[in-house]
Amino acid sequence: MEIRVDRAVVAPHTRLIFVTASALRTSVAARVARVFAGAKSGVVP
């Protein structure tokens, strides 16, 4: 059985996954920064 992957179908999905991953990383970094700032000022979320 031959599996043929259409690049036109794969490319948008790959881009979507990449964008989602980078957005997730950004939000996680923001949350960590907020927690650190809160801990520094004595407020723990």
Mean pLDDT of 8-21: 86
Q: How far is residue 2 CA from its own chain's centroid?
A: 33
What is the structure's pLDDT at 12?
A: 81
| Res. 21: pLDDT tops 90 | yes
> How far is residue 28's CA from residue 22's CA, in Å, rounded to a whole number?
10
What is the structure's pLDDT at 42?
A: 79
pTM (global) more than 0.75? no
Q: How many CB atoms lie within 10 A of CB 16?
A: 10
Per-residue 3-state assignment (H helix, E strand, C coil) for the chain? CCCCCCHHHHHHHHHHHHHHHHHHHHHHHHHHHHHHHHHHHCCCC
Mean pLDDT of 9-33: 90
